[in-house]
Amino acid sequence: MTPEPYELDVRPILRSGGEPFSAIMQAVNDLDSGQPLRLLATFEPVPLYGVLGKKGFDHAARGIGGGDWEVLFTPRAAASAAPAMPADPTAWPEPVRQLDNRDLDPPEPMVRTLAAVEELRPGEVLCALLCREPVFLLPELGKRGLAWSGGFEADGTTYRLLIRRTFEREAAE
């Protein structure tokens, strides 16, 4: 029997000009095994499909009127066998480089960050400071086999993103 979906309505966050990515990722992390996520948003969250797809979720979206969307993210059976990040970020070494991308206009923070991670050696960590959640950058990191962890700092205006180049062994797992 499939558990009831966890419902997350991010429309109030979006309407107030906020970024709901952290709330969405927290909800995903809090789901019970096999539990779907029902997301309500003010637009079709296409970039999220890739992010949650890499975490083992399929999606079904439909417009519900007034420009709002409902998306049901359903975990695939193999999701638990393929974690999104190969290692615990609290065990990562200190960053070898820090980028302050807070004063740059898109897409420059993404371009600059992707260029910098290409220079990382296996096991090295990069820290990027951003003024918003990097919803387009995160799927690109996954495509490149990089592990990442991020969230807003206590000030609520700085998004701190740690990116780690994995070792060959971790990437194969």
Domains defined along the chain, listed by start: 6-81 (3.30.110.40), 89-172 (3.30.110.40)
Which residues are CB-neighbours of 12 under 8 A, at least 6 positions away?
A: none
Is residue 103 exposed (0-12), middle (13-18) or buried (19+ Cβ within 10 Å)? exposed
> What does the pLDDT look like over 23-75, one tens digit per residue?
999 999 999 888 999 999 999 898 898 888 888 888 888 888 888 999 999 88
H or E element, residue 130: strand 125-130
For 97-117, the pLDDT digits (tens) are 999 999 999 899 999 999 999
- Region of 17 please: left (phi>0), alpha (psi -120 to 50) or beta: left
Question: Between β-strands 146-152 and 68-75, what pairing exists: parallel, antiparallel or unpaired?
Answer: unpaired
